[in-house]
Amino acid sequence: MNRAVVCIVGRPNVGKSTLFNRIVGKRIAITEDTPGVTRDRIYAEGEWLGKYFTVIDTGGLEPDSEEIIMTNIRRQVEIAIDTADVILFVVDGLQGLNPTDKEIGNILRRSGKKVVLACNKIDTPKTPQEIYEFYELGLGEPIAVSAEQGLGIGDLLDEIVKNFPDDIDTDYDDDIIKVSFIGKPNVGKSSLINKILGEDRVIVTDIPGTTRDAIDTYFNY
């Protein structure tokens, strides 16, 4: 069984975790005013119109506070490119287009991955003129959403689900047995999982603590 994976990327504080919570319908990720504070679970199951998929908040993968923001963001985008079927790129509609958004946009465009662009913090039903500047990213139409108010989420999910690959399984399956791999950093959890799965879905890194593998992977044996 192959679940569709949706990865949420974007600068700190644009509302990734709030949107994640909105999509998965529970308050799983932690939302705070300080950039880079998401540390809780970073993945969950989402569902839209009977289609099930995995959502990953890459913003929750920020381990080292001394690391500069752009390095972190690049790493998150890299993870998203490696693991996602659809990348949900979130920008801040209140702040407007930012040089970092452009940089992320360039990497995503070059990746050839399916990208859905969400312009968050549009807290009124009427779409303001400002969101049109995000067309400059060259990633198609920015979809106006308010993660906080719950506006535009349906349109956003329509667009995400529409971009799933044809061979993906979106049915609900309650027979799944959940297996967790736990252990100290760098003991080889990710490598072991990769061996079992026979694919490089889990990303292995030799920097202790930079766990990028808290990801649901479905496996038949």
Report the interface residues with ligand GDP, using CB under 6 A: 10, 12-18, 31-33, 35, 38, 59, 120-121, 123, 146-149
Query: Which stretches of the chain are assigned E, i.e. beta strand?
Result: 4-9, 43-48, 51-57, 86-92, 114-120, 143-144
Closest CA to 113 of 214, 9, 13, 213: 9
Question: What is the rounded CA–CA span in Å between residue 41 and residue 134?
Answer: 30
Partner whose footprint covers residue 170, from ligand GDP, Mg ion, none (CB < 5 to 8 Å by kind): none
Q: How many CB atoms are located within 10 Å of the residue 107 CB? A: 17
16 or 189: CB nearest Mg ion: 16
Q: Which residues bind Mg ion (CB under 5 A)?
A: 16-17, 38, 59
Partner whose footprint covers residue 194, from Mg ion, ligand GDP, none (CB < 5 to 8 Å by kind): none
CB of residue 191 to ligand GDP, shortest distance in Å: 29
CB of residue 170 to Mg ion, shortest distance in Å: 26
Cα separations (Å) of 137 from 59, 123, 152, 203?
20, 22, 20, 28
Partner whose footprint covers residue 33, from ligand GDP, Mg ion, none (CB < 5 to 8 Å by kind): ligand GDP
36 or 204: CB nearest Mg ion: 36
Cα angle 189-192-197, degrees, rounded to a multiple of 5 = 125
Which residue in the block uniquely carries the two structure tokens 């679970």?
41
Residue nearest ligand GDP (C-beta atom): 15
Partner whose footprint covers residue 63, from Mg ion, ligand GDP, none (CB < 5 to 8 Å by kind): none
